[in-house]
Structure 1
Amino acid sequence: MDGPENHDPAKHAKETRRLTRQDWVDAAVRVMAGTGVEQVRVERLAVALGASKGSFYWHFKDRQALLDAVLEAWRLRQTVAVQARLALEAPEAQLRIQRLMELPLASGAAAEAAEFELAIMMWARRSPEARAAVQAVDEARIAYLEELFATLGCEAGEAQWRAHRAYALVRYVAQRGDLSLAERQAMVTRACAELTTETQVT
């Protein structure tokens, strides 16, 4: 069972300066994306980071505190930060929708992020905390898409319907690793065109 080691601040000061709270979160994200939340264990992370468990407990009360930090990092990186970046890179609503729908296919890093998100979703089937986090993120993303479709001229009900359809496809293509990248890109391109073409916007 994971538990805090007896340690004094002086003994671990050098190690604490070397490893930050974010280092532990990043290590947990890597393990979760590769093998699932069950393998996110303090001892395993300590070995991977070349640190003692005492270093972990310098930053976190317990494993649950780390998992809570992982969920918050996921929300910030893959929702808040994405929306902020798009606001700068894609000022037009139609282009933002396209970029959002293409996101899981955009790069190797995006594909890895999609794998991590899938691990979060699997975890949410068993954890009330993870389930609540997934629900909050889904609601925030769909609300953002609704705003974009409304900017294109859709009425509220139509904007909501298109937002759900767009988001469902994003989830789908992110999970269909058995399909080629070209096939998934074609799906996204067609759906985006259908959802944002001016002649279809009410």
Structure 2
Amino acid sequence: MPRTSPSATVEPLAGNVKVTREDWLRVAMDLLVSDGVSEVKVLTIGERLGVSRSSFYWYFKSRKDLLNQLLAEWERGNTGILLAHAAMPSADIIDAVNNFFRCIVDPDGFNHQLDFAVREWARRDGAVRRVIDRSDTARTEAIAAMFRRHGYPPEEADIRARVLYYQQIGYYALELNETLEERLSRVPGYLHAFTGVRPRPEQVAEFEAHARGVAAR
């Protein structure tokens, strides 16, 4: 289920209304992912939450305000968590890329379904397209900075960042149906291709253990 991380926690209203701003955004994200932005409607969300639409106006000025806040939550969540992982301390570039991979494979990390839904939304809305472009730029620059920290020249760091990022976004856009074992079997090759460095066996094993642990939750 898509997650939200509101910038300010709002307590539930008193009386019969038992939902928060986060609840409204959570259901809005569910609808965006499953049905597209055209189906993110106040009445539909209220029905799913079992509340009257009047409670909506405690948290949002309008549907447009809801959509703007929904987009901001996506940017703070998906883009924010990717930037944080790219900036994590790492002993070498293999550890750094493994940090990036951890963000991608963890269901509490990068939400690829939500990312794809926002990109579909951007096809019909120029303002959303500009936010997407800003986020893509921030993401690739963060990954490039990760490579530069480990000694790659700026031009090479930029290209490697784009290859790594675009491959991952394309992987989800194509909806490839690989098993966990198939994906893990390619990890050593991916790490070598993305970095030009052969990973040590213990680095591969550590990432595989993490990925299996996530899958077993």
- Cα-to-partner distance string for 1:114-158 (whole Å, 9 max, x where unaligned): 111111001101112211111111011001000011112111111
Q: Structure 1 180/110 Cα, relative in aligned 2: closer, same or farther at 3 Å?
A: farther
The correspondence of residues 1-202 of structure 1 with structure 2, limited to 5 A, is: 13-14=13-14, 18-84=18-84, 87=87, 91-92=90-91, 94=93, 95-101=95-101, 103-104=103-104, 106-108=105-107, 113-181=111-179, 182-186=181-185, 189-198=188-197
Tell me the secondary structure at the aligned position of residue 14 of structure 2.
Answer: helix
Tell me the secondary structure at the aligned position of residue 14 of structure 1.
Answer: coil
Q: Structure 1 144/108 Cα, relative in aligned 2: closer, same or farther at 3 Å?
A: closer
Q: CA deviation at 1:100?
A: 1.9
Q: Which structure 2 segments of 5+ residues have no match?
A: 1-11, 199-217
- Cα-to-partner distance string for 1:76-128 (whole Å, 9 max, x where unaligned): 1112134335656x534522323324644x145568x2111111001101112
CA distance in 2, matches of 1:192, 1:43: 47
Question: Aligned AA for 1:118?
Answer: F
- Cα-to-partner distance string for 1:44-79 (whole Å, 9 max, x where unaligned): 000011111111111111111111111111111112
Q: CA deviation at 1:198?
A: 3.9
With normalisation by structure 1, the TM-score equals 0.79
Give yes or no for contact 1:16–1:55 (8 Å, CA) kept in 2.
no
Give yes or no for contact 1:142–1:164 (8 Å, CA) kept in 2.
yes
Give yes or no for contact 1:93–1:148 (8 Å, CA) kept in 2.
no
Question: Aligned AA for 1:119?
Answer: A
1:4 maps to what in 2? none
Q: Structure 1 164/171 Cα, relative in aligned 2: closer, same or farther at 3 Å?
A: same
Q: How many residues align?
A: 185
Question: Aligned AA for 1:96?
Answer: A
Give yes or no for contact 2:13–2:20 (8 Å, CA) kept in 1.
no
Give yes or no for contact 1:79–1:137 (8 Å, CA) kept in 2.
yes
Q: Structure 1 190/160 Cα, relative in aligned 2: closer, same or farther at 3 Å?
A: same
Tell me which protein shows more helix as a share of its residues: 1
Question: Aligned AA for 2:45?
Answer: L
Q: CA deviation at 1:15?
A: 5.5
CA distance in 2, matches of 1:30, 1:109: 15
Aligned-pair identity in percent equals 25
Q: CA deviation at 1:196?
A: 1.9
Tell me the secondary structure at the aligned position of residue 43 of structure 2.
Answer: helix
With normalisation by structure 2, the TM-score equals 0.74
Q: CA deviation at 1:22?
A: 1.6
Cα RMSD of the aligned pairs, angstroms, is 2.6
Q: Which structure 1 segments of 5+ residues have no match?
A: 1-11
CA distance in 1, matches of 2:15, 2:78: 29
CA distance in 2, matches of 1:131, 1:196: 30
